[in-house]
Amino acid sequence: MNFYLGTDRLNWLTMTELADVPLFVSHRGLSKRKHLQPAPMRWGLDSGGFTELTMHGEWQTTPHSYIAAVRRYNDEIGNLDFASPQDWMCEPHMIKRTGLSIAEHQRRTINSVLTLRTLSPQLPIIPVLQGWTLTDYLSHAEQYDRAGINLENEPLVGVGSICRRQATWEAAEIAMRLQPIKLHAFGAKQDAIGLYGSLLTSADSMAWSYGGRMKPDPNCPKRSCAHCLHYALNWRSKAMTPQRLTLWGA
């Protein structure tokens, strides 16, 4: 499984010592940078949808603006493995925020994938499955198929709206029932990776930052390890231990 270390420290994208550590970075941070440098590592792009929908209740970034930014990142930073679409999360509080239904969020997510791929077919825009219940996710997969996107043929498919319940059997069942689709889990925590990591092609997480802030390394002179590279790498190493990756079915 490829594990992308989430970070808001954009200078990490230029660090040669991290060449073997895939990173996951948000468009919201990168879009503010006037100058970009090539990255020595592979990386994935978060569209920043959770923050944008929470703030505005809708996407204010246009598809043309977003795809232009992704094209710039791909050209100037390079090594871009995948980019998230402008998807619509389906957590209950997000549905309340937008005032729309889960079905409408799913429809708009598919439309985003189709629109972005039409605007720039060469960019690695991945489909993202959204929903809240298992039935929602299975239904969304069928909707993709009707829209002409066979998820089993995709190199990677994101699974959204499970971040806050990842270390649950409900999330594990969703991952199991979506097989053999090559899944990427957004915001995966260590317990989630231990529970169903063997069912994932890749995952990302910035959960280490919260841990570093709440329980900093006692051997570190800093009062907080929320932005500590050493802490982040240790966290990722623990998350990737063989014991954690083989707990499913044990």
What pLDDT does residue 188 have?
A: 84
Answer yes or no: is 31 within a domain.
yes
What pLDDT does residue 242 have?
A: 53
Domain extent, residue 56, equals: 2-245
Kindly report the CATH number assigned to the domain that includes residue 119.
3.20.20.105
Reported as a single tens digit per residue, the pLDDT across 85-105 is 999 999 999 999 999 999 999
CA triple 169-1-88, angle to 5 deg: 60
Answer yes or no: is 250 within a domain.
no
Reported as a single tens digit per residue, the pLDDT across 138-181 is 999 999 999 999 999 999 999 998 876 765 788 889 999 999 99
Answer yes or no: is 171 within a domain.
yes
Answer yes or no: is 59 within a domain.
yes
**CA–CA dist 101, 92 (Å, integer):** 10
Give yes or no for a contact between 81 and 17, defined as CB atoms under 8 angstroms apart.
no
Order of strands across the sheet that contains 183-185: 80-83, 43-46, 23-26, 2-6, 202-205, 183-185, 157-159, 128-129
Answer yes or no: is 56 within a domain.
yes
What pLDDT does residue 144 have?
A: 98
Give yes or no for a contact between 206 and 223, defined as CB atoms under 8 angstroms apart.
no
CA triple 27-208-172, angle to 5 deg: 85
* Tokens 């954009």 sit on residue: 10
What pLDDT does residue 250 have?
A: 35
Answer yes or no: is 76 within a domain.
yes
**CA–CA dist 197, 185 (Å, integer):** 9
Tally of domains in the chain: 1
Residues with Cβ within 8 Å of residue 121, at least 6 apart in sequence = none
What pLDDT does residue 243 have?
A: 46
What pLDDT does residue 222 have?
A: 74
Side-chain-side CA neighbours of 79 within 13 Å: the count stands at 17
Answer yes or no: is 205 within a domain.
yes
pTM over 0.85: yes
SS3 230: helix
Give yes or no for a contact between 4 and 44, defined as CB atoms under 8 angstroms apart.
yes
In order along the chain (250 residues), what is the average pLDDT of each group of 10 residues?
94 97 97 96 97 97 98 98 98 96 98 98 98 95 98 97 74 93 91 86 90 79 84 87 46
* Tokens 């204010």 sit on residue: 60
